[in-house]
Amino acid sequence: MAMSAPVSCSRCQEALTPTARFCPSCGKEQLPTGPTLVANTELGPAGPPGAPPGAGPWLPLPPMRLLPSTLLAGVYSLGNVIGEGGMGVVYRAHDTRRDRTVAIKCLHSNLTGDAEVRRRFVREARLLRAWSHPNVVAIYDFIEHEHLLAIIMECVDGLTLAQHLEKWRGRMPMKEVGTVFSGALLAMAAAHRHGIVHRDLKPDNILVAQAGGRLVPKIVDFGIAKILEGTTFTVSGAFLGTCRYMSPEQVQRPQFADHRSDIYSLGVTLYQLATGRVPFEDGNHFALMMAHVAKKPPPPSEHRPDLPPALERLILDALAKDPAARPQTCEEFLERLSAALSESAPADEPSAEPAPASLPAIVPESDGGELVLIPAGPFPMGAARRTVHLDAFYMDRTPVTNRQFRTFLEVTGYRPEDSSAGRFLAHWPRGEMPKELADHPVVFVSWFDAKAYAAWAGKRLPTEAQWEKAARGPDGRKYPWGRGEPTPTRANFGKQHRSTVSVGSFPEGVSPYGVHDLAGNVWEWCDDADDPSFYENGPTHNPHNTRRSDRPSYVMRGGAWMYGAQALRTYSRTSFKPHYRFAGGGFRCTRLPP
């Protein structure tokens, strides 16, 4: 049975009832939304008015937008618009024959009247429908009828790679770069073996989906550039985006561009993933194209100094003006990428590979502390409960104590020298740890002090997402123990003890994973620079805000002994400057599985 497509206002997109005549939000009168039929999915010329029976009703004028509930080919019931670009409009639709959700890309009507475009459309349609790859958006069907040229394809719920990179604020972790870009290279290697050249590779044409908590790239719009060659598309606003990724030979001799042109575009894309920007930027089409032909790209390390040297060499080789100087195949590109990332992989980034299922739940430490396993998987993050996936990690069962911190000082001789160093361990008279505070959480430590301890211990500060998952669990608890309001038996808060208490004093307040003191006692430093927008709308896989401003503040979580009950919520957060030290500020550490 056909699924009813959702109806929305044609002006403001507000959801409407099927019988609504006016939009309650903006007042616009709504046009009738009964089904409009288009004949069939046979490729080839469609008949004129008066065609034989079965050709379907004639649509006299090509609409700029097709209405929700429009029935294409008697099979595809249109829903709402999910995207629009320089070449066409993409609709979510329901395939009534196979009972599945699909995406339908309809080329703009100013293109479909071009006979050469229609000829190329038929040719590319036959080629692409016969080929598939796990990292390519699947093509199911094509429609050519009168004014309409449409591609029926897999509906991917995910962001474009450009949008995904924006969520990382241009600082995507290297291992995630490897995961996403390797999939794209595998897809293009297979395409090139089949003689298929994309010609318009760019982050806007790579979708990033989630599958089992892992990122899966999906390349879209194969064949579109070939279909539109030589049309007025080349003077549209969308062309500027394409120019940023265009190879020199596409500018000078487009008829001779081969698969190595795709490799150049992939080089530009990798440059952008690694640095957050493209090598050449200009608002003028011609100037941008000439830059690809004649200008030397700035080294990526100018924008990201920690870039592995081997990765920088690979990027610059892929951007060689001479196609013969680039990696000659995507297989070679992938081999060099894997080598560059494996040789220089930062130790504190989550692994792209799934953690073994046999990881121990508890890891004892020589100082008497314990690390608790937080398993891989999704959890609801923030007040809006957006789904975030984290790889497995270990977290200290309790905050770092005065006793543990004293050992660090004795072994390393660490002493801060910043302007606020006079407040360092201000609760230790004459620099000596009071015995009665040995098992209390250490306080009066800055973010830099906490980082120094973590590095000495072979650990790291938790990311904000790691801290929150450890506190609220996969079920998204309001407090570590559940939904019940805080009580004196669950946490140290509201100045009830007038100071810190020994760690682990509140077994009723333990988190779902067995982690103690994640509510009250002390605020705990996280590794993330504070950015509320990143927290609310950042990446959905191992988010970690490493983008530093001139005067950053760093996140603290968990509330403290002098704060009220509201600060104990698992999504409550605050931030301070990294040199700040106070009586309610401590920390704990994490470690990645071996």
Domains of the chain: 7-48+63-154 (3.30.200.20), 158-343 (1.10.510.10), 362-591 (3.90.1580.10)
In this prediction, residue 152 carries a pLDDT of 92
pLDDT beneath 50, residues of the chain: 1-5, 31-63, 232-238, 240, 352-353, 355
In this prediction, residue 426 carries a pLDDT of 97
In this prediction, residue 147 carries a pLDDT of 78
Please state, in angstroms and rounded to a whole number, the distance separating the CA atoms of residues 89 and 64: 9
In this prediction, residue 127 carries a pLDDT of 78
* Residues marked as catalytic: 200
Please state, in angstroms and rounded to a whole number, the distance separating the CA atoms of residues 155 and 35: 22
pLDDT tens for 449-461 read 999 999 999 999 9
In this prediction, residue 221 carries a pLDDT of 83
Please state, in angstroms and rounded to a whole number, the distance separating the CA atoms of residues 568 and 488: 12
In this prediction, residue 238 carries a pLDDT of 45
In this prediction, residue 131 carries a pLDDT of 83
In this prediction, residue 170 carries a pLDDT of 86
In this prediction, residue 551 carries a pLDDT of 86
pLDDT tens for 344-382 read 655 555 554 454 568 899 999 988 889 999 999 999 999
Residues 6+ apart with CB under 8 A from 353: none
In this prediction, residue 433 carries a pLDDT of 97
In this prediction, residue 500 carries a pLDDT of 97
In this prediction, residue 53 carries a pLDDT of 43
Residues 6+ apart with CB under 8 A from 204: 85, 160, 161, 162, 241
Location of structure tokens 């700040």: 580
Please state, in angstroms and rounded to a whole number, the distance separating the CA atoms of residues 182 and 559: 41
β-sheet bridge partners, residue 585: 523
